[in-house]
Amino acid sequence: MDTSIKILIVDDFATMRRILKNILKQLGFKNLVEADDGTTAWEVLEGQGIDLVISDWNMPKMTGLELLKKVRASDTYKTVPFLMVTAEAQKQNVIEAVQAGVSNYVVKPFTAEAISDKLEKILK
């Protein structure tokens, strides 16, 4: 995996951003930025060169699904890999995310190995 890429972590809970940052740092990723909702994430995406988005689903202002749809509808960012990390694990959620173009999906709670496996699949 190319660990020099810039990863945007989006979650309204600072706890989850911190856990994901710890895991990503352990995997060798150093170029990490954060946002606490979809709206802020979109601003970060437009302002910086982001190579991968890791996003929660349920967030205020703009949900992870809405962010994903906006990314996929954008000429500039539509190919950016998008990993959904969410507690929303019902079938309909997964179907909606796949239809919207999610690159992969991790259900909370998760292990560091689960994140690593999904990233390897996305970034290979």
Q: Which residues bind other proteins (CB under 8 A)?
A: 12-16, 18-19, 22, 58, 60, 86-91, 107-111
Separation between Cα atoms, residue 93 and residue 3, nearest integer Å? 30
73 vs 95 by CB, closer to other proteins: 95
Count of beta carbons in the 10 Å neighbourhood of residue 35: 23
Closer to other proteins by Cβ: residue 77 or 110: 110
Nearest distance, CB of residue 29 and other proteins, angstroms: 16
Exposure of 116 in the CB half-sphere (CA atoms within 13 A): 9
Write down the least CB distance from residue 107 to other proteins, Å: 7
| Shortest separation between residue 85's beta carbon and other proteins, angstroms | 11
Token couple for 30: 């150093």
| Residue appearing with tokens 């706890």 | 15
